[in-house]
Amino acid sequence: MSAHDAGRDPGFVEKYLYSTDHKTIGLQYMLTGMAMALIGAFTVYVFRMQAAYPGSSVPLFGRVAAADYNYLVTMHGTIMIFWVAMPVLIGGFGNYLIPLMLGCDDMVFPRVNRLSYQIFLLSSVVLVASFFVPGGPFGGAWTAYPPLSANSAYSLTPYGSTLWLLAVALEFVAFLLGGINFITTTMNSRAPGMKMFDIPIVVWMIVLASVLFMGSVGPLVAGAVMLLLDQVVGTGFYDPSRGGDPVLWQHLFWFFGHPEVYVLLLPAMGIVAEVMTVFARKKLFAYRTIVYSAVGTGIISFFVWAHHQFVAGIDPRMASLFSVTTLIISIPVAEMFFVYIATLYGGSIRLTTPMLWALAFVAEFLLGGVTGIFLGSAGSDIYFHDTYFIVAHFHYTFFPIAFIAAFAGITFWFPKMFGRMMDETLGKVHFWGTIITFNVCFLPLFVTGTAGDHRRVFDYSGFAELATPQMQNLRILATWALLAMLAFQVVFLVNFVYSLFKGEAAEANPWKANTLEWLASSPPPHGNFETMPVVYRGPYEYSVPSRDDDYWPQYEPGDTADDGAPSGPRSVEQGA
């Protein structure tokens, strides 16, 4: 906060490239994530073309060799999770929104925040650099199981595997630094009057996600150091012939890897809660239930990791235990989705572009959620493990998380971020184009997976059961849908750039929303608020009967529960 000199005009470099302003850092994260998404999209384009038309030359790439296919699927997974979902949802929205929604001028540690982005940028550069080293990028899947990842005699990518690991480790450091800021800021810098249960859900979710991340990433960092030593120095942590154990890595990886799912899911659900309440003009149904469910989900998520390893050679009796914990986690997650659906009841729903995205998140994630039951049940996972059924399942979770919720957030907060409205028509074309093609792309993969298609196979011609014309037609259908989906993203980019310069000017609170960021001007200046806000009520007081307006901003002075109003909104919060 001392870093702010409100009166001075910073130069271009200090304002956009070397800034300590949380908004700039948030946008840096977001734009870097979007740039990485283009690389992630290119990789999927190439390997899906190979899957549909094996052996043919892919435009802009050429013939896809087995090694190419492996690194393309590896990089697609790595980039989309660590370099798109994480920076956009956590780095982007977290940095941009937390200080604004809490009503403070910046993060508690602005320079740590800047360092966080710089390390993240470095990690992106290291990852992209791995495309150009001798031997090519790492191709051992985003899970990087040793001994394949530990020994270049197996992976044939001596530099690629090391750079991959280094990039991931740097990325973790970046998000640890960011997480420290998120948690500290939320604990210490809330506007006067903002109690724990007045914090908007999206902030709760991002902070809980940061706690989960910090709690789970430590073992994996230790694991990554051991893997790095195996690769570079030739130690044998994961080499059974020298007393090591490859399964150790799987435990360390998934101990992080499963909480990571919720690290990404929670912020996405937070974004959706904000958008849904605004456009349904409804108070969030059972606010505290959502917070408690999210906490419960987070805790249980530390006890489910081995469901990725049912058939990995762990003691089969252990699988029973993890099957139970895995199905238990469906309880708080189902609760949250029920609550979201219940929030719509009695609403006054306006289907704007952000609202369409938010509703689509719920509708699509439901399918991702219920198909997870097949995989969490040890008995059926024997069959589905490592098939395209899993691919379809987690795309029905991760695509809603990383893209649908992110689009909801971007279209919702765009006016705040850039001071201009996005185009609604282009927004709706983009929405329907993306949602329809997404389903046409991934529904067939449930079928091929159920028929036995296993993952990461660049050519099915050796498999009599899989090389049938019916199966190939499904693969081709999925690929065409993917191409159409990618094409529709051009609409988004056009809308984004066009609106950035030519969009209708946005007022401070164009959606008539309650939370504090809408008090700041659009876009907010350095330091955010002209006068620092005071909070009088919870974030979701929409359609309060005693008022003329159907919204009641948190910052607006007025009745609290003390005035004895029968439906006093404050009373609910004070019951806490």
**Residue list 65-104, contact with other proteins (CB under 8 A):** 66-67, 69-70
Q: Is 320 in the site for other proteins (CB under 8 A)?
A: yes
Q: What is the dihedral of CA 335, 337, 342, 344, to 10 degrees?
A: 160
- Residue in 140, 354, 409, 427 binding other proteins, rule: CB under 8 A: 140
- Residue span 402-441 as binding mask against other proteins, x where in contact by CB under 8 A, dash where not: ----------------------------------------
Q: Is 318 in the site for other proteins (CB under 8 A)?
A: no
Q: Residue 486: name the closest of 152, 39, 3 by CA.
A: 39
Query: Are 6 and 526 spatial neighbours (Cβ–Cβ below 8 Å)?
Result: yes
Angle of helix 406-418 relative to helix 469-502, nearest 10 degrees, comes to 10
Residue 143 corresponds to which amino acid? Answer: T
- Residue in 154, 232, 493, 505 binding other proteins, rule: CB under 8 A: 154
C-alpha–C-alpha distance, residues 352 and 364, integer Å: 18
Of 155 and 181, which CB lies nearer to other proteins in the complex structure?
Answer: 155
Query: Are 304 and 258 spatial neighbours (Cβ–Cβ below 8 Å)?
Result: yes
Instruction: Report CA Rg, the chain.
Output: 24
Of 52 and 491, which CB lies nearer to other proteins in the complex structure?
Answer: 52
Q: Is 338 in the site for other proteins (CB under 8 A)?
A: yes
Q: How many CB atoms lie within 10 A of CB 325?
A: 17
- Residue in 130, 155, 185, 411 binding other proteins, rule: CB under 8 A: 155
- Residue in 257, 347, 510, 523 binding other proteins, rule: CB under 8 A: 347
Of 420 and 475, which CB lies nearer to other proteins in the complex structure?
Answer: 475
Q: Is 567 in the site for other proteins (CB under 8 A)?
A: yes
Q: Minimum CB separation from other proteins for residue 123, in Å?
A: 23
Q: Minimum CB separation from other proteins for residue 257, in Å?
A: 15
Of 238 and 418, which CB lies nearer to other proteins in the complex structure?
Answer: 238
Q: Residue 199: name the closest of 290, 114, 138, 293 by CA.
A: 290
Q: Is 348 in the site for other proteins (CB under 8 A)?
A: yes
Q: Is 313 in the site for other proteins (CB under 8 A)?
A: yes
**Contacts (CB under 8 A) with other proteins, residues 504-563:** 542-545, 550
**Contacts (CB under 8 A) with other proteins, residues 161-180:** none
Q: Minimum CB separation from other proteins for residue 165, in Å?
A: 16
Non-local (6+) Cβ contacts of 490 within 8 A are none
C-alpha–C-alpha distance, residues 479 and 50, integer Å: 9
Half-sphere exposure of 225 (CA within 13 A, CB side): 5
**Contacts (CB under 8 A) with other proteins, residues 264-303:** 280-289
Q: Minimum CB separation from other proteins for residue 374, in Å?
A: 5
C-alpha–C-alpha distance, residues 407 and 561, integer Å: 37
Helices marked H in 233-315: 246-280, 287-300
Left, alpha or beta for 145 (phi > 0: left; psi -120 to 50: alpha)? beta
C-alpha–C-alpha distance, residues 479 and 473, integer Å: 10
Q: Minimum CB separation from other proteins for residue 377, in Å?
A: 3
Q: Is 311 in the site for other proteins (CB under 8 A)?
A: yes
Of 113 and 448, which CB lies nearer to other proteins in the complex structure?
Answer: 448
Only one of the segments 134-142, 202-210, 259-267, 414-422 lies at the binding site for other proteins (rule: CB under 8 A); that segment is: 134-142
Q: Residue 426: name the closest of 330, 509, 493, 504 by CA.
A: 493
Q: Is 201 in the site for other proteins (CB under 8 A)?
A: no
Per-residue tokens: 234: 């030739």
Per-residue tokens: 362: 């719920």
- Residue in 7, 12, 134, 345 binding other proteins, rule: CB under 8 A: 345
Of 385 and 526, which CB lies nearer to other proteins in the complex structure?
Answer: 385
Q: Minimum CB separation from other proteins for residue 543, in Å?
A: 4
Only one of the segments 265-273, 343-351, 426-434, 437-445 lies at the binding site for other proteins (rule: CB under 8 A); that segment is: 343-351
**Contacts (CB under 8 A) with other proteins, residues 221-240:** 240
Per-residue tokens: 224: 């990554």
- H/E run at residue 5: none
Of 319 and 406, which CB lies nearer to other proteins in the complex structure?
Answer: 319
Q: What is the dihedral of CA 116, 119, 125, 127, to 10 degrees?
A: -90
In degrees and rounded to multiples of 5, residue 441 shows phi and psi of -75, -45
Q: Minimum CB separation from other proteins for residue 497, in Å?
A: 30
Only one of the segments 90-98, 257-265, 436-444, 565-573 lies at the binding site for other proteins (rule: CB under 8 A); that segment is: 565-573
Q: How many CB atoms lie within 10 A of CB 339?
A: 17
Q: What angle do CA 189, 194, 196 make, to 5 degrees?
A: 90
Query: Are 535 and 555 spatial neighbours (Cβ–Cβ below 8 Å)?
Result: yes
* DSSP string computed for 19-46: ---HHHHHHHHHHHHHHHHHHHHHHHHH
Per-residue tokens: 406: 């992110």
How many residues touch other proteins (CB under 8 A)? Answer: 103
Q: Minimum CB separation from other proteins for residue 392, in Å?
A: 14
Q: Minimum CB separation from other proteins for residue 481, in Å?
A: 21
- Residue in 3, 35, 121, 156 binding other proteins, rule: CB under 8 A: 156
**Contacts (CB under 8 A) with other proteins, residues 434-493:** 447, 450-452, 454-460, 462-466
Q: Minimum CB separation from other proteins for residue 57, in Å?
A: 18
Q: What angle do CA 269, 297, 362 make, to 5 degrees?
A: 30
Q: Residue 211: name the closest of 266, 161, 156, 283 by CA.
A: 266
Of 450 and 560, which CB lies nearer to other proteins in the complex structure?
Answer: 450
**Contacts (CB under 8 A) with other proteins, residues 358-397:** 359, 362-363, 366-367, 370-371, 373-374, 377-380, 382-383, 385-387
